[in-house]
């Protein structure tokens, strides 16, 4: 390995996402089943690269999830 980089990593998973999606309806904190699609197994919010939404739609999803957590409709990360 004369000066070369080692190939292959541990977490090399390719996420294929459509270009930028648009939310059909604004994210609502009362729609718990709809918001669960954007949460991982530990309750973490998926990144924009995973959901495929633009910045404004991702912020509305984040806001709705945090409101639902405050009202104990969704679990907190932990």
pLDDT tens-digit readout, 38-49: 999 999 999 999
pTM of the predicted protein model: 0.71
Please give the residue range of the domain that contains residue 51. Answer: 22-78
**How many angstroms separate the Cα of 69 from the Cα of each of 52, 61, 62, 66, 78?**
23, 12, 11, 5, 12
Residue 1 located in a structural domain? no
Domains of the chain: total = 1
d(CA 18, CA 16): 7
61 contacts 53 by C-beta, under 8 angstroms: yes
- Partners of 53 in beta bridges: 21
Residue 2 located in a structural domain? no
pLDDT tens digits for 47-71?
999 999 999 999 999 999 999 999 9
């Amino acid at each position: 390995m004369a000066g070369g980089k080692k190939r292959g990593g541990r977490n090399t998973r390719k996420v294929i996402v459509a270009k930028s999606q648009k939310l059909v309806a604004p994210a609502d904190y009362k729609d718990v089943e709809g918001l669960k699609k954007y949460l991982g197994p530990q309750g973490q919010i998926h990144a924009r690269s995973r959901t495929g939404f633009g910045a404004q739609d991702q912020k509305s999803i984040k806001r709705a999830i945090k409101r639902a957590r405050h009202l104990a409709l969704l679990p907190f990360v932990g």
